[in-house]
Structure 1
Amino acid sequence: MDQGKKASIALLAVIAGLTAIAGCRWLYGLPLGVDSTVYRAGALAVLRGQPLYDPLLALDPESALELPFTYPPSAALLFLPLALFPAQLVWLLFAVGTVLALWSVLRRFSGTRPVLLLVLLAVLEPVWRSIGLGQVNALLMALVVWDVLPSRDRRYGGVLIGLAAAVKLTPLIFIPHLFLTGRRADGFRALAAFSGASAIGALVLPGDSARYWTSAVVDNRNAGSVGWVGNQSLHGMLARFGVTSMAWYAALAALCLLLGALLVREFHRRGDPRAALLVTAGCALLVSPISWTHHWIWVVALAGYLAGRRAAPAGAAAVFTGLATASVPGGGHRELSWSPIQMVLGNAYVLAALAAGAVLTVRLLIRPGGRDRTSRDRLSAKH
C-alpha cells in the first residue's frame, strides 16, 4: 500500500473517531468544546442583535464558564455559519479542521511520513488541548504557512495572512515578516485583506466595532490570570517572578522582536524560509501578553522541521507534553511562591523558546556565511 492510501486511511480513522465522540455527546446532551462554543455564541449574538462584548447569552455556563468573546467583529461575521449547527457539531468541525490543518503544515515542514509524525505528536499538550477545546489556532497557523510557504504561485500572496488576522490579531506579526523577507506586494495585500475585513465588520456591526477598537481590544479581562502557569509568554513569566512593571515587559518584548527580525533576515538570506517562519511564530508567542499553552500549536511545525535531526524532536516533545507545567502548583497566585526548580518547570515553554533563540543567534554569529544550501535544496525538493 502506497503512502497516499495509508495517509487517507489514517486521516479517515481519526475523523471517524472524532465524529463518534461528537455524536455521543450530542445524543446525551453533554457539552463539548469550550472555545468552539464561544465562537458559536458570538455568531448567535450577531444574529440576535446582542452585544458581542457583554456576557454572551448563548453560552452554556456548564461548558464555557462565562468566557468573553475576545475576537474582532470581523471574526464574529466569519463565524456566522456556526450558528446553523449544534455546539457538538461545531466542535467536530474545528476538531477535524485542526487535524487536517496540522497534517497540511507537517507536509510543508517534514517530507517524511507526516501522518505518522502527526499521530506521534498527539501526545503534545498544544495538540490534544486544541482539539479538546475546539480551538481555531491550528487553522490560523495553516493559513499563515500556506501563505508564507506556498506550493504554487504567489499571485494572491498575503491574503490568507490578512484573513487570519481578521479572526485573531496575533497573525498581524506575519505581515512584517513578509516585508522582512522582501515580499512587499504580499505584505500590502495582507494589510488590504485585514483592513477590508475590519471595514466590513465596522459597517455591519458599528457599535461592536467601536467598542472593540476603543476599549475591548485593550481590556485586560485576563489580568488576574496573567501570572497563571497556563500563560506561557514573557508577560506571564515576569508576573510569576513578581515583576509587575510594564517597562520590563516592553523592554524584553522589544529585544525579542529586534533579535527575531535579525534572525528572520539571516535565515531568509541563507535560503531557509521555514526556519525564518518559525522564528516569527516564536516571537509572536513570546511577546503576546497572553499565550495559553494551546497557542503553542506551532510546536507541530517545529517538530516537522526537526524531524530526523537526532535528539532534537525528542527534546521538543519532552518540553511540550505539558508534564513540566502540570507538575507545579498553579492558580490562586501560588506561582509567586515557586521554588527555583518550579520556576524552571513552570516556565518551560518560554525558557525553551528563549534558549532556542539564543542558540540560533550564537550559531549565526559564529558561522556567518552563505546560504544554507541543504535546507534550501530540501525545501525545493518537496515543493
Structure 2
Amino acid sequence: MTGAINASDGPSFEAHTAKSESVIEADIPRRSLRVGVLGFSVLGVLAVASVLMVLFAVPMNTRYWGIFENFLDLDVYRHGGSVVVQGLPLYDGPVLEGMMFTYTPFAALLFTVWAVLSFKQAIVVWTGLNIAALFAVIVLCWKYLGYRLDVKAYAVSALATTIFLFMEPIRTTLWLGQINIFLLLLIVWDLGRDEKSRLRGIGAGIAAGVKLTPAFFWAYLFITRQWRALVTAVVTFAATVAIGFVVIYNDAYKYWTGTLVDSERVGPTDAPSNQSVSGLIAQITHTPTPSRILVLVFSALAVCLGLGAAWIAHRHGQKLLGLTMTGLTATTVSPFSWGHHWVWFVPLVVLAAHYAMVSKKRWAWVAPFVFLLPVLNWSHTWWDPSVIPGTDRFVGMGLFMFVPPEYLRIPTVGVYLWVFTLAAVSTLVLFGWKKWKIPAPDASAPVTTAA
C-alpha cells in the first residue's frame, strides 16, 4: 500500500516478548515510515480514485443516496438531544419521522449539544470531525506500531484517510452521519496506550456508555489480564449509567429495563445490511427469526476464534492487532451489525500494510488489498420508487447488497464475516506458529524503498 519496503532481520516476536508479556510503548524503538516516489504515486492515484468514486459512483446530487443527501442518523441524534432538552419521553416512540432513538441515555445527554445547531451546521461540523477522527486513528496506528510521527507519516496518513473514504463502512458512516469512527478513535487511543497508564480504560468505558458494543472489549481485557484497565472501564461505564439516571431518570429506567433488548428498534434480523452471525443465518435460512441455537453456537465459535486471535496477538506484543481482532469479533457477534459498524477494517488494513513493510516477501503486499477490496463501497442500483419516498431508485452499497446467483449467495451476503474469519485465521497461523518470525520495530535497521 505504501511502496516496497525491505528491512533487515531483527529480533523475533518471541525474543521481543520474552522480556515482558506486553510491550511498553516507551521501550519501542522508533523507525521512520519511509515511502519513496513510487509509494506516494500509488497512494496518490488510489486517493484520487477514492474521491471520484465517493462523489460520482453514486452521483453526489442523487436524492437520498448522494454522499451529501442523507445524514439521517445525525438528525436522529439531534432530535434525541432535543427531546431531552424539552423534557419529553425519549424511548416511547419515534423522535424523527418514524426513527427510534436506540442509544443510551448518556448518549442522548451528549447529543443535546448538537440540538443547538441547525441541521446544515451540524452536517458541516460532524463531517469535518469524522474525517479528522479517521485521520487520527490512522496516525495512532502508526504510532502504536512503532513508527516515528514525522512529516512522511502524516502525509501517508492523509492519503490513507482519503483512500478509506471509499471503504463502505466509512462512506456509509459519513453518508448517514454515524458515530462509529469516534468510538473507534476512543478505543484505539485509550487501549493502545502504555498499559501502565493509570487512566487507561476510561475511553473504553465512555465508548460503552454511548453504545454498548464496545463493552465487548472487557472480555479482551479479562483474558489478557489487564486488570487495572478493566476495572477503570467498568467503573467509567457505571458512571455513565449513573449520570443517565440522575439527569433523566424515567428514560434511563425504561432503557435499562426493556428498550435495551428490543432489537426490532434497530432493524429486521434478515436485512441484507445485517453483517453479523445472526444476520447471515437469517438470510441463509430465509427467516427474520433465525434459530437461537444456531445463532448461539456460531456466535460462540466466532468469539472463540476472534478472541483466540486477539489473545495470541497480545501474547506476541501485537497490541493493536489484538484490539482490532476484538473490535471485529464484537461486530461479528452483535445481534445487528450494519455495514457502518465495521470501521475496524481501517486498522486491519493498516496492520496488513505494516506487516507487508516488515516482511521481505514482495507478495506480502497482496494482504492490504485482500482485506481492502471486499469492503469497498461497490454499489448496485435498481429502479424501485416504492422503497424510498421521493426517489426513483434503490442503491445497494457494499458487496453484501448485491443479488448474486444462489451458488454465490453465502460468500456474498456474509462477506464481512468472511473477511473477519480470514483475519482471525491469519493471526492464529502467523503468530500461533512458534517458528514464525517477523522483525520487530528497529530504528537502526536499514530501510530502503522503491524509487
Q: TM-score, normalised by structure 1?
A: 0.81
Spell out, residue by residue over 1:159-181, the C-alpha distance to the aligned partner (whole angstroms, 9 max, x if none). Answer: 11101111100010112222333
> Measured at CA, do residues 223 and 277 of structure 1 come closer, stay the same or move farther in structure 2, by a change above 3 Å?
closer
For the pair 1:55 / 2:93, whether they are aligned, the reply is yes
CA-based RMSD of the aligned residues comes to 3.1
Contact 1:102 1:118 survives alignment (8 Å): yes
The letter of the residue matching 2:79 is A
For the pair 1:143 / 2:186, whether they are aligned, the reply is yes
Contact 1:264 1:277 survives alignment (8 Å): yes
Q: Secondary structure at the match of 2:434?
A: coil
Contact 2:263 2:336 survives alignment (8 Å): no
The letter of the residue matching 1:86 is S
Greater CA radius of gyration, 1 or 2?
2
The letter of the residue matching 2:136 is S
The letter of the residue matching 1:292 is W
For the pair 1:40 / 2:105, whether they are aligned, the reply is no
Contact 1:228 1:335 survives alignment (8 Å): no
Q: Percent identity?
A: 30
Matches within 5 A, 1:120-199: 120-150=163-193, 154-199=197-242
The letter of the residue matching 1:35 is D
Decide which moves more: 97-106 or 337-346: 337-346
Distance (whole Å) between structure 1 residues aligned to residue 334 and residue 93 of structure 2: 24
Alignment partner of 2:115 out of 83, 86, 90: 83
For the pair 1:357 / 2:411, whether they are aligned, the reply is no
For the pair 1:283 / 2:348, whether they are aligned, the reply is no
Partner of 1:343: 410
Decide which moves more: 220-229 or 287-296: 220-229
Gaps of 5+ in 1: 4-9, 19-24, 379-383
Contact 1:33 1:133 survives alignment (8 Å): yes
Spell out, residue by residue over 1:74-125, the C-alpha distance to the aligned partner (whole angstroms, 9 max, x if none). Answer: 1111111111111222222321221111111111223541111111122211
The letter of the residue matching 1:257 is V
Kindly tell me the number of residue pairs found equivalent between the two proteins.
344
Partner of 2:103: 71
Higher RCO (CA < 8 A, seq sep 6+): 2
Distance (whole Å) between structure 1 residues aligned to residue 185 and residue 86 of structure 2: 31
Distance (whole Å) between structure 2 residues aligned to residue 56 and residue 302 of structure 1: 36
> Measured at CA, do residues 298 and 261 of structure 1 come closer, stay the same or move farther in structure 2, by a change above 3 Å?
closer
Contact 2:135 2:157 survives alignment (8 Å): yes
Distance (whole Å) between structure 1 residues aligned to residue 320 and residue 124 of structure 2: 30
Decide which moves more: 356-365 or 93-102: 356-365
Partner of 1:374: 439
Distance (whole Å) between structure 1 residues aligned to residue 136 and residue 296 of structure 2: 35
Contact 1:165 1:171 survives alignment (8 Å): yes
Q: Secondary structure at the match of 2:102?
A: coil
How far off its partner does 1:42 sit?
0.8
Contact 1:125 1:320 survives alignment (8 Å): yes
The letter of the residue matching 1:307 is A
Contact 1:92 1:134 survives alignment (8 Å): no
> Measured at CA, do residues 342 and 261 of structure 1 come closer, stay the same or move farther in structure 2, by a change above 3 Å?
closer
Distance (whole Å) between structure 1 residues aligned to residue 395 and residue 117 of structure 2: 38
How far off its partner does 1:369 sit?
5.8
Spell out, residue by residue over 1:136-194, the C-alpha distance to the aligned partner (whole angstroms, 9 max, x if none). Answer: 10000000000111279612110111011111000101122223333211110110110
The letter of the residue matching 1:36 is L
Greater share of helix residues, 1 or 2? Answer: 1
Q: TM-score, normalised by structure 2?
A: 0.70
> Measured at CA, do residues 261 and 224 of structure 1 come closer, stay the same or move farther in structure 2, by a change above 3 Å?
closer
